[in-house]
């Protein structure tokens, strides 16, 4: 029989091994090579609190910015991986990732907020944290500070050296007119299953949409899968197919990260075809219902899907760079600084 000392020893071993495993993300998707749960623990220990504290203030002034930051991280990761490419200003040479149609409705403030966070972080820790890592942390904080689940963010991403073409951007971001078949097939190519797809779509529990993203469901005829009263209310907010205004995406609780988006879908009050069809389609209907009736189930699956999304095709190690300004590569910045210097010298000479 084991002595009480041995039992104590074994149970303490179990306790500590559990602690170590769960502190490294037990039950969460595996880390991709090069990312780590503790990447800046010794080199920039205040990183997460710098981001969190600043965003608390930003959201206190305007809670809508949370939705903008969450969407920015999604658009970053789906196109060319989470490499900050969506933040790069395009060249004069033609349409770029940032100016592609789906990115035109990203909030201008979101880019400014990330740049401001970068400045604060680099001031304290030096140029060691990438714009893409900052965007991933900001998205997590957007979820937490609007009432959603907290989760650990794998860090160590490097920023990309170029942005995607307009057509690559369109190929990777599904339009709101897509049905579930399209969503499931296109997201499966990135490693997402049906549960991930339904969970990720739950991000539409916060934020706004422009009328033009859904008015094809109202005019000339109202989509038969849409609740009549809900449709009539939308028509009042968007009187024409090309109305320029915006509406809340989850009218039940537009600024709270909760499971009401799924309650909307169950009541045929989803905004986009890509949302509502998740309830119409047999393959995803049960997942919608399970999230709509149990918020914890949604939160758990959302965290898994977000951690997966945040690791899509990341650059790590010696790949890419850590940008000194999120909207421009370091080479581009160097060139711009030289030109600016020359301009000043010339201006002083004449």
When the beta carbons of 44 and 312 are compared against ligand HEM, the nearer one is 312
> Helix or strand or coil: residue 286?
helix
Q: How many residues bind ligand HEM (CB under 6 A)?
A: 24
Pick out residues in 274-303 that bind ligand HEM (CB under 6 A). 274
| Binder of ligand HEM out of 29, 39, 59, 71 (CB under 6 A) | 71
| Binder of ligand HEM out of 206, 218, 226, 314 (CB under 6 A) | 206
Which of 71, 56, 57, 52 is CA-nearest to residue 205? 71
273 binds ligand HEM (CB under 6 A): no
Q: How far is the CB of 208 from ligand HEM (least distance, A)?
A: 4
When the beta carbons of 44 and 226 are compared against ligand HEM, the nearer one is 226
150, two tokens: 């907290």
> Which range touches ligand HEM (CB under 6 A), out of 50-58, 146-154, 206-214, 336-344?
206-214
> Which range touches ligand HEM (CB under 6 A), out of 162-170, 204-212, 217-225, 324-332?
204-212
- 75, 122, 204, 210: the active-site residue: 75
| Binder of ligand HEM out of 201, 276, 315, 329 (CB under 6 A) | 201
The residues near 110 (Cβ < 8 Å, ≥ 6 apart) are 65, 68, 69, 71, 72
Give catalytic status of residue 122 as yes or no. Answer: no
183 binds ligand HEM (CB under 6 A): yes
Please list the helix, strand and coil fractions of the chain in percent, rounded to the nearest 5, in that order. Answer: 55, 5, 40
Q: How far is the CB of 16 from ligand HEM (least distance, A)?
A: 35
Pick out residues in 100-129 that bind ligand HEM (CB under 6 A). 105, 107
304 binds ligand HEM (CB under 6 A): no
The residues near 281 (Cβ < 8 Å, ≥ 6 apart) are 179, 180, 181
The whole-angstrom separation of Cα 56 and Cα 77 is 24
256-273 in b/e burial notation, b at 16+ Cβ within 10 A?
ebbbbbbbbbbebbbbbb
204 binds ligand HEM (CB under 6 A): yes
The whole-angstrom separation of Cα 294 and Cα 70 is 22
335 to each of 54, 116, 332, 342, how far by Cα in Å?
Answer: 31, 22, 5, 11
* Cβ–Cβ < 8 Å for 39, 152: no
When the beta carbons of 131 and 247 are compared against ligand HEM, the nearer one is 247
174 binds ligand HEM (CB under 6 A): yes
| Binder of ligand HEM out of 169, 209, 253, 329 (CB under 6 A) | 209
Which of 111, 75, 81, 57 is CA-nearest to residue 315? 81
The residues near 194 (Cβ < 8 Å, ≥ 6 apart) are 184, 283, 284, 287
* Cβ–Cβ < 8 Å for 209, 271: yes
> Which range touches ligand HEM (CB under 6 A), out of 39-47, 67-75, 150-158, 287-295?
67-75
257 binds ligand HEM (CB under 6 A): no
| Binder of ligand HEM out of 35, 51, 67, 79 (CB under 6 A) | 67
The whole-angstrom separation of Cα 33 and Cα 1 is 44
176 binds ligand HEM (CB under 6 A): yes
The residue ranges that bind ligand HEM (CB under 6 A) are 67-68, 70-71, 74, 105, 107, 174-176, 178, 183, 200-201, 203-204, 206-210, 213, 272, 274
The residues annotated as belonging to the active site are: 75
């Amino acid at each position: 029989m084991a002595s009480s000392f041995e039992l104590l020893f074994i149970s303490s071993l179990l306790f500590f091994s559990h602690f170590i495993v769960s502190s490294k993300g037990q039950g969460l998707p595996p880390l991709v090579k090069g990312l780590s749960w503790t990447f800046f623990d010794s080199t920039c220990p205040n990183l997460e609190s710098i981001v969190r504290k600043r965003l608390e203030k930003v959201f206190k002034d305007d809670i809508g910015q949370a939705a903008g930051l969450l969407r920015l991280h999604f658009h970053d990761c789906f196109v060319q991986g989470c490499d900050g490419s969506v933040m790069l200003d395009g060249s004069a040479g033609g349409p770029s990732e940032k100016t592609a149609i789906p990115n035109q409705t990203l909030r201008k403030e979101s880019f400014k907020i990330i740049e401001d966070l970068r400045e604060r972080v680099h001031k304290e820790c030096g140029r060691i944290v990438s714009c893409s890592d900052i965007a991933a942390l900001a998205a997590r904080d957007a979820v937490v500070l609007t009432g959603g689940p907290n989760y650990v963010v794998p860090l160590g991403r490097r920023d990309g050296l170029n942005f995607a073409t307009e057509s690559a951007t369109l190929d990777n971001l599904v339009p709101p007119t897509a049905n579930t078949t399209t969503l499931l097939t296109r997201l499966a190519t990135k490693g997402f299953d049906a549960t991930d797809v339904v969970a990720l779509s739950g991000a539409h529990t916060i934020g706004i949409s422009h009328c033009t993203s859904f008015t094809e469901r109202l005019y000339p005829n109202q989509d038969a899968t849409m609740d009549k009263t809900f449709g009539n209310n939308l028509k009042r907010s968007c009187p024409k197919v090309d109305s320029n205004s915006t509406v809340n995406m989850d009218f039940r609780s537009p600024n709270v990260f909760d499971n009401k988006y799924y309650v909307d879908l169950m009541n045929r009050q989803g905004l986009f075809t890509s949302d509502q069809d998740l309830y119409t389609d047999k393959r995803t209907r049960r997942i919608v219902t399970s999230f709509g009736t149990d918020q914890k189930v949604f939160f758990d699956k959302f965290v898994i899907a977000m951690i997966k999304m945040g690791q899509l095709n990341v650059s790590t190690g010696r790949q890419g760079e850590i940008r000194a300004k999120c909207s421009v590569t370091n080479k581009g910045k160097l060139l711009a600084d030289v030109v600016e210097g020359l301009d000043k010298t010339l201006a002083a000479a004449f």
